[in-house]
């Protein structure tokens, strides 16, 4: 097996690294993650995303006829890897960019592509993903938010939840219940594009346990959505949603972000002494770091395999579930190990006087709890792998 990148791919990776070094403050590269989504952070993130757009990286793989560069998917994988390694701002917005562009390119009509793709490529229009509801998360087929056909418009009522970034977003893509009487559950939903400035939409920001304020509740109260905002066929929203979650789940960032944490922990172990002896001389700590290194390597191989499956146009559902499951559970194990290695220092928040590694271990430990939930829980990924991957009968 040969996993070597080509000269051109290496060149592209270096270009991304140089871009990140230029765009992000030096302390960012040593781990200065945003404490939470403050307005200041958002302004910085918007500028960063505009700079990405200037490079053409928000439309890197799109067909040229839609303003893209038609670059191979491998470059997108490299970009994702480097962005995650650098903990670039707005990564979740970038993922939603990928989802909305895939939705429009694969299911949208010409008018929708003409209207929405330029704003996505230019980094000026931000999108939220409105899939989950209080009683429809793992089971998207249970979606209840109703979009009634009123002739010239859809009338939308109900509540979505966990709509990340809805308070910053201009638009939202969301499956809605348009056909409650359809025999098949999967044919009851349709995918709609919703302008977030439409009267009747209320967004409440919720604070998550690591202190960030970016997940939202989104309420729709008699919201009029133009008929032409239906993407793809009516009653095919579930199908479109499933294609998009595959994109959400398959990312090279699952291995590269933890790689950065490992490097920081190695440095910490080399530089920190306990009773006059560097932690790096402690056999237990060395073993823990070695274990992390092995897991990250396994994760990287899974990530590359997923990228390869995507590149060859094969179904990514099962392998995407594998990388999502392995990567997210591994991230929890790593931050747990980080806490053990750093002891009480690991519990200090970013910004605390004696904090180490910019407080990232504390923050990651809390944040990574959500990694095995967001984008589909671990239980759901195991169900997908067992049915689609192994061909076991559905239960
Ligand atoms: C930080 C964060 C950001 C998010 N961002 C977004 C976003 O931007 N847009 C969006 O639409 N959603 C978002 N989500 C929502 C996320 O997709 C859902 O939380 C997830 O799909 C799980 O749904 P649920 O919370 O309703 O849990 P439930 O589906 O109610 O699951 C509860 C528990 O039951 C288990 N379970 C459920 N069904 C089964 C089954 N059949 N077999 C075995 N076990 C089962 C689950 O694994 C879980 O442990 C986000 C979530 C988080 C935490």
Locate 344 and state its tokens: 């009480």
Distance of alpha carbon 215 from alpha carbon 204, whole angstroms? 9
Mean pLDDT of all residues in 37-52: 90
Q: What is the CA(208)–ligand 1 centre distance, in A?
A: 15
Number of domains in the chain: 3
Residue 78 lies in a domain: yes
Q: What is the CA(376)–ligand 1 centre distance, in A?
A: 5
Q: Are residues 296 and 325 in the same domain?
A: yes
Test site for ligand 1: of 37, 97, 100, 132, most ligand atoms within 8 A of the Cβ: 132
Q: What is the CA(132)–ligand 1 centre distance, in A?
A: 8
Q: Are residues 91 and 181 in the same domain?
A: no
Residue 168 lies in a domain: yes
Q: Are residues 230 and 262 in the same domain?
A: no
Kindly tell me if the per-residue pLDDT of 54 is higher than 90. yes
Residue 182 lies in a domain: yes
Q: Are residues 231 and 308 in the same domain?
A: no
Q: What's the pTM?
A: 0.95
Atom from ligand 1 closest to the CA of residue 132: 11
Rg of the chain over all Cα atoms, to the nearest angstrom? 22
Residue 296: which CATH number?
1.20.140.10
Residue 93 Cβ < 6 Å to ligand 1: no
Residue 62 Cβ < 6 Å to ligand 1: no
Going by CA atoms, what residue is nearest to atom 48 of ligand 1? 377
Q: Are residues 256 and 291 in the same domain?
A: yes
User: What pairs with residue 278 in β-bridges?
Assistant: 273
Residue 1 lies in a domain: no
Residue 380 Cβ < 6 Å to ligand 1: yes
Q: What is the CA(223)–ligand 1 centre distance, in A?
A: 25
Kindly tell me if the per-residue pLDDT of 3 is higher than 90. no
Q: What is the CA(258)–ligand 1 centre distance, in A?
A: 23
In the listed set 242, 270, 299, which residue is the last one of a domain according to the structure? 242
Atom from ligand 1 closest to the CA of residue 92: 8
Going by CA atoms, what residue is nearest to atom 51 of ligand 1? 374
Distance of alpha carbon 123 from alpha carbon 196, whole angstroms? 17
Render 152-179 in DSSP notation, one character per residue: SEEEEEEEEE--TTGGG-SEEEEEEE--
Kindly tell me if the per-residue pLDDT of 87 is higher than 80. yes
Locate 377 and state its tokens: 């829980």
Residue 191 lies in a domain: yes
Residue 395 lies in a domain: no
With contact defined as beta carbons under 8 Å apart, do 183 and 229 qualify? no
pLDDT one-digit tens code per residue, 249-299: 888 889 999 999 999 999 999 999 999 999 999 999 999 999 999 999 999
Q: What is the CA(255)–ligand 1 centre distance, in A?
A: 22
In the listed set 128, 152, 172, which residue is the last one of a domain according to the structure? 128
pLDDT one-digit tens code per residue, 129-175: 999 999 999 999 999 999 999 999 999 999 999 999 999 999 999 99
Residue 374 Cβ < 6 Å to ligand 1: yes
Q: What is the CA(371)–ligand 1 centre distance, in A?
A: 10
Domain that holds residue 259: 250-389
Residue 376 lies in a domain: yes
Residue 370 Cβ < 6 Å to ligand 1: yes
Residue 117's pLDDT is 97
Residue 213 Cβ < 6 Å to ligand 1: no
Residue 372 Cβ < 6 Å to ligand 1: no
Residue 213's pLDDT is 82
Please name the residue that has the structure tokens 């191989």: 301
Q: Are residues 117 and 143 in the same domain?
A: no
Distance of alpha carbon 239 from alpha carbon 175, whole angstroms? 10
Residue 64: which CATH number?
1.10.540.10
Residue 40's pLDDT is 86
User: What pairs with residue 154 in β-bridges?
Assistant: 149, 225
Q: Are residues 256 and 385 in the same domain?
A: yes
Q: What is the CA(36)–ligand 1 centre distance, in A?
A: 22
Residue 70 lies in a domain: yes
Residue 112 Cβ < 6 Å to ligand 1: no
Q: Are residues 254 and 371 in the same domain?
A: yes
Kindly tell me if the per-residue pLDDT of 339 is higher than 60. yes
Reduced DSSP (H G I as helix, E B as strand, rest coil) percent helix, strand, coil of the chain, to 5: 55, 15, 30
Q: What is the CA(375)–ligand 1 centre distance, in A?
A: 7
Q: Are residues 254 and 166 in the same domain?
A: no
Atom from ligand 1 closest to the CA of residue 208: 1
Q: Are residues 110 and 149 in the same domain?
A: no
Q: Are residues 108 and 184 in the same domain?
A: no
Residue 250's pLDDT is 86
In the listed set 203, 224, 242, which residue is the last one of a domain according to the structure? 242
Q: Are residues 222 and 271 in the same domain?
A: no
Atom from ligand 1 closest to the CA of residue 166: 8
With contact defined as beta carbons under 8 Å apart, do 177 and 146 qualify? yes
């Amino acid at each position: 097996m040969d996993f070597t990148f080509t000269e051109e791919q290496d060149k592209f990776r270096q270009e991304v690294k140089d871009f990140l070094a230029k765009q992000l403050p030096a302390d960012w590269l040593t781990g200065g993650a945003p404490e939470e989504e403050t307005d200041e952070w958002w302004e910085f993130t918007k500028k960063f995303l505009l700079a990405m757009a200037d490079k053409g990286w928000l439309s890197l793989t799109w067909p040229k006829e839609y303003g893209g560069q038609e670059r191979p998917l491998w470059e997108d994988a490299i970009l994702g890897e480097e962005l995650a390694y650098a903990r670039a701002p707005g990564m979740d917005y970038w993922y939603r960019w990928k989802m909305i562009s895939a939705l429009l390119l694969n299911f949208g009509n010409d008018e929708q592509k003409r209207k929405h793709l330029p704003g996505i490529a230019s980094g000026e229009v931000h999108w939220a993903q409105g899939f989950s509801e209080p009683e429809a998360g793992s089971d998207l087929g249970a979606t209840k938010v109703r979009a009634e056909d009123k002739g010239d418009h859809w009338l939308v009522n109900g509540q979505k939840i966990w709509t990340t970034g809805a308070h910053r977003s201009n638009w939202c893509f969301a499956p809605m219940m348009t056909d409650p009487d359809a025999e098949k559950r999967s044919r009851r939903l349709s995918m709609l594009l919703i302008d977030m400035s439409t009267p009747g939409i209320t967004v409440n920001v919720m604070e998550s346990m690591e202190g960030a304020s970016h997940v939202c509740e989104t309420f729709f109260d008699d919201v009029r959505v133009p008929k032409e905002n239906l993407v793809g066929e009516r009653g095919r929203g579930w199908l479109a949603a499933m294609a998009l979650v595959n994109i959400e789940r398959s990312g090279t960032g699952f291995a590269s972000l933890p790689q950065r944490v490992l490097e920081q922990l190695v440095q910490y172990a080399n530089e920190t002494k306990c009773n006059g002896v560097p932690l790096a001389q402690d056999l237990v700590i060395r073993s823990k770091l070695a274990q992390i290194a092995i897991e990250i390597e396994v994760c990287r191989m899974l990530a590359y395999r997923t990228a390869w499956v995507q590149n060859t146009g094969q179904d990514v559902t099962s392998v995407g579930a594998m990388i999502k499951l392995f990567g997210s559970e591994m991230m929890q194990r790593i931050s747990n190990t980080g806490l053990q290695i750093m002891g009480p220092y690991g519990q200090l928040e970013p910004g605390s006087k004696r904090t180490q590694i910019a407080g990232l271990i504390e923050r990651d430990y809390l944040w990574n709890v959500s990694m095995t939930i967001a984008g589909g829980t671990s239980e759901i990924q195991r169900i997908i792998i067992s049915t689609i991957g192994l061909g076991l009968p559905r239960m």
